[in-house]
Structure 1
């Protein structure tokens, strides 16, 4: 008879290493799958100086009408190597921290929104501290007029021209966005997972739906903070002196308000939501699958070893 596993208890049974490995797979899958849409979102969020030499054609239209659609499509993947390099370790740390903190803050409670949200916030602090420099490089390379040919060249040029601080100037803003984003996402995901699948059985359909809903809600609420983060992370590539000298979160928010009013805080809203819905669905589905896969195979190996010892 096949060995049965209680999926609902896997969070307690899986080791820190298994959670980290599953998280690494989830992070790479999440970011790579929707990377072109994320590039479009970045370009839509960038605030131009208003100079007549700067193209004003919407980024989506300019991509579609590019002389070579194949080249334009390839252009949208520029900087993806930075995501691959950073997302694996960062998401490994992210999900391992989340599982550890969830066990500490939630335990055996059936419903603990605050506990899930707090665990998500702790996981975000660990993730963003590691991922922020890679995200800066990624967004610099995503810009339409970017001339960087590799991740290494981009990182080197940013460091030489702007110093180490350029990789972290957006970190406070990133945390101001990511902590509520991830807290909302984790709490929403856990709520819908419990609601859609009270039995707690392994069910990919549940993870897809709950993850997508969590991504949609969290990205909608935090878009204004994401616009400010993009301004700070791409300031060194701007032709506008005011943007190039932006000093932090409140300065970025002031620039956005002055240039575009309240509507400016929702630049790139649609592609951001379109990115986060499938990204979150993919991330949670891949993460839950690999967590289940690693634990069941480890459990099966132990059962096999025990049977061998009994025969001896």
Structure 2
């Protein structure tokens, strides 16, 4: 009887009541969701980075598929290499996602995104604002992560990698990709949040707490946003790994337009599709996990408070 009442209590808890939860709860939920998302999907992210890096003369041939990359990496370097750099993500993802979801909830509320009906403009603007704030914090950690993910990387710790990059390339190296990152993540986040909020309301009009809804809507919105912004992600990877390249032209790339010019010159438009499959394979489940974790943590933390 008691268990039945508990189930009924959860079912009757209107998800709209979460609009009034403390900001600290949303930020804590976002932090836990970010760590969960990035840690679980890290090996696929390693494959994406490897597939997006342009081949240089004398280097090993490019990876032809996700399975080809997985087989070559584990055979030549061992399965452990798929987790190299994960510490950088864990250190940055917690605070960055707390800032991300905290900003999103505040801006969405301020711009009327919590009103009845689907507020496309509000959710898109709130998502874009969230990514500007969180990426400013996360960008250096992302640079360190990708340097450690590269084939033949000598870096074995986050601190060593950070010190070496700073000594050889200066503070600029940690932020040279930030404009490109924003050019990519602002539309990514705007698309993702808008599609997510729309799909969530279509799948669950009553807006009661529904884990299956959050998983489905999160996965779908992540796949759409990842596919749309993949060309910019290829350019970002070139900029973030240029310091470890032996190619003079790549090492001298100073911005997004120059990076895109190099990609187009060498591989044509197909070059911008590099890493598309692992990127979608990364963001579809990771976005589903992120939203499931975030909404779940918010729900249960708000129940506790």
- Within 5 A, what are the aligned runs for 1:255-270? 255-270=262-277
Q: Report the equivalent of 2:183.
A: 176
Q: Report the equivalent of 2:60.
A: 55
Residue 129 of structure 2 corresponds to residue 117 of structure 1: no
2:104 to 98, 105, 111: 98
2:177 touches 2:240 (CA, 8 Å); kept in 1?
yes
Q: Report the equivalent of 2:16.
A: 8
2:43 touches 2:83 (CA, 8 Å); kept in 1?
yes
Q: Report the equivalent of 1:77.
A: 83
Q: Report the equivalent of 1:209.
A: 216
1:44 to 32, 51, 57: 51
Separation in 1, partners of 2:185, 2:72:
34
1:160-202 deviations in Å (ceiling 9; x for gaps): 0000000000000000000000000000000000000000010
1:295 to 289, 295, 302: 302
Separation in 1, partners of 2:50, 2:160:
21
Whichever of the two has the greater Rg, that structure is 1
Aligned residues: 294
Separation in 1, partners of 2:125, 2:294:
20
Distance 1:65 1:220, change over 3 A: closer
Q: Report the equivalent of 1:304.
A: none
Separation in 1, partners of 2:202, 2:115:
17
Structure 1 residue 228: Cα displacement: 0.4
Separation in 2, partners of 1:222, 1:65:
27
Residue 152 of structure 2 corresponds to residue 145 of structure 1: yes
TM-score by length of 1: 0.91
Partner of 1:76, secondary structure, is helix
TM-score by length of 2: 0.93
Unaligned runs of 5+ in 2: none
Separation in 2, partners of 1:65, 1:178:
30
Partner of 1:207, secondary structure, is helix
- Within 5 A, what are the aligned runs for 1:162-173? 162-173=169-180
Q: Report the equivalent of 2:29.
A: 22
Partner of 1:108, secondary structure, is coil
1:5 touches 1:296 (CA, 8 Å); kept in 2?
no
Distance 1:62 1:274, change over 3 A: closer
Separation in 1, partners of 2:35, 2:48:
19
Partner of 1:272, secondary structure, is helix
Separation in 2, partners of 1:173, 1:10:
34
Q: Report the equivalent of 1:310.
A: none
Q: Report the equivalent of 1:87.
A: 93
Separation in 2, partners of 1:245, 1:230:
14
Structure 1 residue runs of 4 or more that deviate by more than 6 Å after TM superposition: none
Separation in 1, partners of 2:116, 2:97:
25
Unaligned runs of 5+ in 1: 299-312
